[in-house]
């Protein structure tokens, strides 16, 4: 019998999928001072693939796939700068090799942000971990950030975990006694901030605060069942070529 890469997780059968990536390390205009090394990029991919293995997904990487691109102005970006949108459009025009377009840069908003996914490309700073990269890949696949609270909307009074908060992942109460739902959120890969162990990918949706996406537009924060799990993940993520 021919062996196939099929894994069974309960009722869901997943097939190992891959996404080829156009990977760019941003350098100064004269080609000096690359934001990171090729070895660094490979280690970030390898770390991310350990996380994405939970959903039978893997991003192949070889050193010759990684290219250098010379743009001093792209190395340290700030979303509040007046030229930010133009720079993002320019980055979105770079040839997309494979399905993803990924730029490794120095910094984003000072050091306040370490990863970002847009419609046409992804930014990963030199301080981002493989888990952060995996988080951004899952955004391309359609998952949303989840928070206990954001911009005045809060579920911090949710109390201990219970079935209605994550019905498809409920394990009949096999949780540490008194585990707060807000603490469970901070373990999820799609938790919107960086935490000490944000790597869990659930099967289904989880109760929390999020900003829904409607017709490609991010909406104000609201409470609800947030798409943070494999059932809402498109494991063939793809950036678009233009905004």
Distances in Å between the Cα of 186 and the Cα atoms of 74, 133, 148 are 31, 17, 8
How far apart CA 202 and CA 198 sit, in angstroms, is 12
**Shortest Cβ 240–Zn ion spacing (Å):** 18
**Shortest Cβ 193–Zn ion spacing (Å):** 9
How does DSSP assign 131-173, residue by residue? HHHHHHHHHHTT---BBSEETTEE-TT--B--GGGSGGG--TT
**Shortest Cβ 147–Zn ion spacing (Å):** 10
How far apart CA 191 and CA 214 sit, in angstroms, is 20
Binding positions for Zn ion, 210-239, rule CB under 5 A: none
Specify whether the CB–CB gap between 78 and 109 falls below 8 A. yes
Q: Which is nearer to Zn ion, 145 or 200 (CB)?
A: 145
Q: Which is nearer to Zn ion, 38 or 144 (CB)?
A: 144
Specify whether the CB–CB gap between 193 and 15 falls below 8 A. no
Q: Which is nearer to Zn ion, 66 or 140 (CB)?
A: 140
Contact characters 32-61, Zn ion, x per CB under 5 A: ------------------------------
Contact between 144 and Zn ion per CB under 5 A:
no
**Shortest Cβ 9–Zn ion spacing (Å):** 23
Give which of 24, 26, 42 is closest to 34, Cα–Cα: 26
Strands 76-77 and 100-105: unpaired
Binding-residue total with Zn ion (CB under 5 A)? 1
Task: Please identify the residue of the shown chain whose CB is closest to the bound Zn ion.
Answer: 145
Instruction: Select from 120, 145, 147, 150 the one that contacts Zn ion (CB under 5 A).
Output: 145
Q: Which is nearer to Zn ion, 59 or 128 (CB)?
A: 128
Residues that bind Zn ion (CB under 5 A): 145
């Amino acid at each position: 019998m021919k062996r196939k890469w099929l894994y069974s997780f309960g009722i869901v059968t997943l097939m190992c999928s891959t996404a080829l990536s156009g990977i760019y390390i941003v350098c100064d205009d004269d080609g000096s001072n690359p934001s990171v090394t090729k070895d660094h990029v490979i280690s970030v991919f390898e770390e991310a693939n350990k996380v994405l293995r939970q959903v039978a997904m893997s991003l192949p990487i070889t050193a010759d796939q990684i290219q250098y691109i010379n743009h001093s102005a792209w190395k340290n970006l700030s979303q509040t700068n007046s030229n930010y949108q133009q720079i993002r459009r320019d980055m979105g025009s770079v040839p997309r090799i494979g399905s993803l377009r990924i730029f490794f840069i120095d910094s984003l908003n000072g050091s306040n942000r370490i990863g970002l996914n847009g419609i046409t490309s992804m930014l990963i700073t030199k301080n981002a971990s493989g888990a952060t990269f995996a988080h951004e890949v899952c955004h391309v696949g359609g998952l949303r950030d989840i928070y206990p609270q954001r911009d005045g909307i809060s579920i911090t009074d949710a109390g201990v975990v219970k079935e209605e908060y994550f019905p498809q992942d409920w394990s009949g109460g096999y949780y540490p006694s008194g585990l707060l739902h807000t603490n469970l959120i901070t373990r999820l890969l799609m938790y919107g901030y960086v935490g000490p162990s944000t790597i869990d990918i659930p099967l289904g949706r989880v109760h929390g605060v999020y900003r829904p996406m409607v017709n490609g537009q991010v909406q104000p924060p609201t409470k609800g069942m947030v798409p943070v799990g494999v059932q809402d993940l498109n494991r063939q993520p793809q950036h678009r070529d233009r905004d």
